Amino acid sequence: MNQYRWEDIHLGLKADFEATFTEAMMGQFAELSGDRNPLHVDPKYAVRQGFASPVVFGLMSSSLYSRLVGLYLPGQYALLQGLDIDFNSPCFAGDVLSVEGEVSYMNEAYKRFEIRARIRKAADRKLVSKSTIRVGFHGE
């Protein structure tokens, strides 16, 4: 886990990582969220709708933006203050997802910055979602 402080943050600072969701994780998310839409939990329904398998929940995949902020950019002292997300294409259990973020705006007076972030499928670089993330600091 990174421990960037305000003094460490600068325009263009980047972080990236990869992640994969499993079918078991999708089941856990359905249980936690209460979202049992068949597009996410019923393989036969998903296929009838034109997908290869159940679609990963949008908010499940976008939870990777929280990981980006909480572990990588800035890490321990992060205070996630907002997300604007556009979903571009579905992803599925087993897809390796590449998460990339870059500091694109800083506000010295409020010690707040923004990250322009994207999630892509690692195999073909297809865009899954993009986000503007607003981040502040807490603690030490």
- Average pLDDT estimate for 72-94: 96
Per-domain residue ranges for the chain?
11-21+61-137
pLDDT, one tens digit per residue, over 99-125 is 999 999 999 999 999 999 999 999 999
- Sorting pLDDT into bands at 50, 70 and 90, what band is 138? confident
CB 26, CB 56: distance < 8 Å:
yes
DSSP 75: B
CATH 3.10.129.10 for domain 11-21+61-137, yes or no, is: yes
Share of the chain above pLDDT 90, in %: 98
pLDDT at 140: 62
Please compute the mean of the pLDDT values over residues 39-45 and round it to a whole number. Answer: 97
